[in-house]
Chain A
Amino acid sequence: MEQSTTAEFTSPQQYKTDRRSPARWVISHGLRQWWVLITALVGALGNAGLMAVASVQIGVAFNVVSAPIFDPQALLRVFFIILAAGLGRGVLQFARNFGFEYCAQRIERNVRRELYASLLSKSMTFHNLQPVGDTMARATNDVREVNFLFSPGLNMVVGSLSFLIFPLIAAPRYHISLMLVPGVFIALYFIVLRIYMRGLAPITEEVRESFGGLNIRLAESLDGIETVKGSAQESGEIGLFDTNVTRYKKAIIAQGRKEAKFLPLLLYAVALAGGLLHALLLFRQGLVDLGGVVGYFGLLLMLDFPTFASLWAYSRISLGLAGAKRILELMNRENNLDQNLAGHARPLRGEVVFSDVCFRYGEGDPVLENVSFKVEPGQTVAIVGQTGSGKTSLARLINRTYDVSGGQLLVDGVDVRDWNLENLRRNISIIEQDIFLFSRSIADNIAFGNPEATREQVEAAAKAAQAHEFILSFADGYDTVIGERGVTLSGGQRQRLALARAFLTDPRILILDDSTSAIDSATEDHIQRAIYAAARGRTTFIITHRLSQIRWADLILVIRGGRLVASGSHEDLLRESDAYRRIFNE
């Protein structure tokens, strides 16, 4: 469990779970629902038991009818017992089905809540490194897989296992040796099922893979149809598609052939014949009566449920465990930055010094090497370079999303690692490339970091961020809910809302990853004004492609391949850097 701190969120934890392995973890969730599971288990056993009772009673009926003196009362009794067993089965089978279903839904809810709380308690570093799409997949699909593990997975496994057990339990009432066939069936059943499933696994994998390949290229070639046609490559693409389809077809045929050899069915057929022979031989010896043969055969017929159902039931369990593993992996991932609660905690001025900073992810290649520069409080710094040159990593070192691997990074003369993390981050705002807005009203989005802000403050922030005008162009103005009734915002508009948000929280250091492109000059004017206003009065780092911003920055950092190849004012760089001069030459 994560240590609770004031810096990161701690949720009202529902209950402790065992996170040492996926199976233990799933079990520890399952045990919380013990009373539901017991109900379901009783349902499963009762359902199978009553089925066995009915089979036995049919046998009894045969004895009643073939007895020398017919007793109609006895037959009527059998009728009522079977009737009652039928109703009882209905109720108990419902208890089994709904019990597992209810349990699965509760566990899905609890698992998701646990995952979410765990995510909230993770550091910013974690969330910056962790792709949102991946987290989403775990919070939706993998959580759902854990649900399916219980229902229908465990439901079918427990249900079919109880159908496997009862013939064995009920057989000795006729003759002890009649346990032979059900017993052997159970033993062979698991072996045969395992052989069958092992043989099928690689083939299913090939089906999945070949379909994936087929589908990806198919979608690509249709999305890029203009390129295909423009390059006159239609026949090449058709040829490629045919190759992919043929591979997929072969995989499907192989799968069909494997599935055709469904061994458990063969075992079932042999068990029926063997059991019947056994019962008949006992009958000849007078050890079993007519009702015994009929009843026993009925018991053997119960084996068809495990024969067919468990095939996919077991794979649901293994899929569920795989999902659990992925969820656990995410929750168990270590948080490597210490909160440093005892560190410096005071207002920031915004001076930033990099001295010989090196940085790499884990053991990877260096992302930044020997970067040194100094920024005075209130200055605006433009970071320029190609994609992948290390611009973003450089900016992320400042709020300790990552820690430097070498050298030092000082804020107000204090190494960032010596600051209280909460204090440091409170004073640094980051505006990302992809700006996330909640499906709430525009006003709520702007006031997100400062929920107490009045409407006047929100509007003032929006005005400073050049967003007021477009907000009023919506029918509901500030109360417009984003994403509702087709309200979508352009990248530039989102960026301006994020800037408005930053005005309300008023950080000392602002880091802006700007990759919006203005289609027209009027929009560009708005962006320029908004960013300029945001930069005023605080230290601002802008990762930018805009020559105009580069031009008016106090300090320009040119990064290439992780190195600071040039830095200084516009005039300095025009003098010193060829590459820089080139981009300012029209």
Chain B
Amino acid sequence: MGFFSSLDAEKYDRTYKDSDLARRIAGYFKPQWRRLVLISILTLLVAGAGALLPVIVSRGVDLLQGIPALLSTLLVAGAVLLIGLAIWFFNWGLRRLTSTAIAEVVAKLSSDAYTASVEHDLSFYDEFSSGKIVSRITSDTRDFGELVTLITDVASMFIESLILAVVLLAIQWRLSLYVFALVPIVFVLGLAYRTIARRVTRQGMRAMANVNSTIKETVSGIAVAKNFRQEGSIYQEFTNANETSYHVNVKRGLALSVVFPTLNALAMLATAVMVLAGGHSVIDGVVTVGAWYLFILSLDRFLFPIMNLTSFWTSIQNGLSASERVFALIDTPTAVVQSAAEKVPVLKGDIVFENVSFHYKQGEEVLRDFSLHIRPGENLAVVGHTGAGKSSVAKLIARFYEFQQGRILIDGRDIRSFDLADYRRRLGVVSQVPFLFSGTVAENIRYARRDAAEDEILELARRIGGGEWLETLPQGLDSQVGERGSRLSMGQRQLVALMRVLVQKPAIFILDEATASIDPFTEWQIQQALDLILQQSTSILIAHRLSTVRSADRIIVMENGRIIEEGDHRGLLAGGGHYATLYNTYFRHQSLEYVEQARAFAAGGAGEE
């Protein structure tokens, strides 16, 4: 199976032994065994009835050598009707059972895959895009389920051809050879078709990707073009792309349009040969007229299963490697491992890092022998350049990642000994891009504490700038936030995320401060919300705003995973060390002095360069 799994493989992908894979798959199908048995029986019945139809019709033709009795006429027609009804009925049962069995298996598999994904720690999500994980949970599981349809369809057609083949052989072997001679020809034709189709489609898709992006660009650019009165030039660009698209598509259409006519012409050619050869066989008395008819009718029933057979193996491989991808997702071990699952009481918020070493990737140490003590209730700001290890400190406290050496103690207890869910309930985390789920504002505020009362939320909301921010929302707390919070402004999203923490009242608060630009009024409200949280929790602030570093009790300056300076804003700035440099790089333009001098500065600079 290793060969096919190279299709957009991820690092966690593994190759399963065929026996393991089979056992694993069987496990999912086991609860469906009753349905599977019935499906197999019905598959056989559909195939049998399908093969019987031409046989019966040809018997009927045999009757026409003289004047048939009314009874046998009725019997033949009745049999054809019965077989037709039976095929429909068996098919009905078959499709019904298959779709149920598939749906059950797919639901179970995707549920397992999702559960496993949610259990993975964040290092997993850093490495693998959530979009690809989503497609494993939805489309790979579905592809896997398709295996059942694929197998029953092909099995049914194959068995039907097989039965017919036996019947034909039993009637006359030489005529049968004419039919069987078609098999390799159609097979080769089918393979050729697949190769051509794949090549033109691939070429077409590549060309279309370019064209599509140009078309997209020219559509997006309309407003700009109009602004500068450049419609003519953009129309030209569009027309070129549109024409290219047209030519590529016509070429592809031409290649794909050839296939079925060729196949059908071939089928007619075979029919013509069979009419001629069979006719002579009848005259020679080798076969009956009815048998001759059976041979003619059977031709079609050999052609199409063979066409399908050429793609069957690839489809099976696709289904199996889809299952492998899902199993790999389920089986990947999480890096964060707890040594015990102790209950976590109300915490004071005392945090100690003891000689902690941590890396995301082997050989790229982020924290080295890192020690830090955060006292209960303290507000600690962490500053430094990108990659200094600031957010690692915060993420280790949240237990999002596994560290490699040293200890982290919360209220004097090893962080690894906690029940993880229980521990995280004591934490409030606001990430750099605050994330909201579709639903109402209230639902998002209650996300970490489902039982929070409306009154309590409203009371807290009012403590932020008199609750004005709620008034700007169309339906207050009941406003829909849209997918990922898209209907709210960045500032509003931050306020909601902070409200979530306020309602939750965690012992430890972790904030990765946003860098987005927010209007000064909302900014002020955010600061108020933040002040409220800082009063109630031990806080670790990865600060990007000047007002935040100022409100911290202690600032640590980090570089290359070490603390190189610590103190409070005033003291550090006066000291003129690393913090003063950082201040000049990141915070200077946020100060009131800068704001006051901006005009003179900008005017002075405008003429230079």
Contact = CB atoms under 8 A, between A and B. Distances in A.
Interface string A221-234: 11111111111111
Contact of B212 (A80, A140, A242): A140
B606 interface: yes
B435 A226 contact: yes
Contacts of B99: 252-253, 255-257, 259-260
B554 to A, nearest CB: 20
B547 interface: yes
Interface residues of A, number: 166
A112 B80 contact: no
Given A230-B398, A261-B92, A387 B491 contact: yes
A228 B603 contact: no
Contacts of A396: none
19 contacts: A58-B271, A82-B271, A87-B265, A93-B260, A109-B245, A116-B238, A120-B222, A220-B438, A238-B111, A265-B91, A274-B81, A277-B74, A284-B70, A293-B61, A449-B228, A525-B605, A548-B598, A550-B520, A586-B550
Given A9-B231, A124-B223, A277-B74, A231 B424 contact: yes
Given A234-B118, A521-B587, A550-B520, A11 B447 contact: no
A524 B589 contact: yes
Contacts of A54: 268, 271
A245 B138 CA distance: 10
Nearest to B232: A9
A375 interface: no
Nearest to B237: A438
A232 B67 CA distance: 84
Contacts of B609: 463, 466, 468
Contacts of B283: 65, 70
Given A61-B275, A75-B279, A269-B81, A89 B235 contact: no
A518 B517 CA distance: 8
A113 B491 contact: no
A104 B257 CA distance: 13
B230 A276 contact: no
A237 B57 contact: no
Contacts of A306: none
A113 B239 contact: yes
Interface stretch (B159-167, B246-254, B373-381, B535-543): B246-254
**A-B interface, 4 closest residue pairs, ranked by CB to CB distance from nearest:** A256-B99, A269-B84, A86-B268, A230-B429
Contact of A124 (B227, B500, B587): B227
Contacts of A139: 215-216, 219
A24 B486 CA distance: 39
B337 to A, nearest CB: 15
A76 interface: yes
A285 B264 CA distance: 36
Interface of chain B, main secondary structure: helix
A184 interface: no
Interface in B268-287: 268-269, 271-273, 275-276, 279-280, 282-283
A456 B319 CA distance: 60
B219 A135 contact: yes
Contacts, number: 457
A75 B225 CA distance: 72
Interface stretch (A168-176, A338-346, A404-412, A576-584): A576-584
A186 interface: no
Contacts of B447: 227, 231, 233
Size class of the B contact interface (CB-based, 8 Å):
35 or more
A95 B542 CA distance: 68
A79 B296 CA distance: 13
A388 interface: yes
A228 B226 contact: no
A426 B395 CA distance: 53
B153 to A, nearest CB: 13
B76 A276 contact: yes
Contact of A583 (B106, B521, B602): B521
B271 A112 contact: no
B104 interface: yes
A232 B448 contact: yes
B524 interface: yes
A235 B599 CA distance: 54
Nearest to A211: B138
Interface in B125-184: 125, 130-131, 133-134, 137-138
A112 B115 contact: no
B470 to A, nearest CB: 12
A23 interface: no
Contact of A272 (B80, B138, B423, B427): B80
Contacts of B592: 547, 584, 586
B313 interface: no
B12 interface: no
Contacts of A268: 84
Nearest to A218: B134
B100 interface: yes
Given A93-B261, A238-B114, A245-B111, 15 more contacts: A54-B271, A78-B275, A87-B265, A109-B243, A218-B137, A230-B448, A249-B106, A256-B99, A265-B88, A280-B64, A283-B68, A384-B520, A450-B228, A529-B605, A545-B519
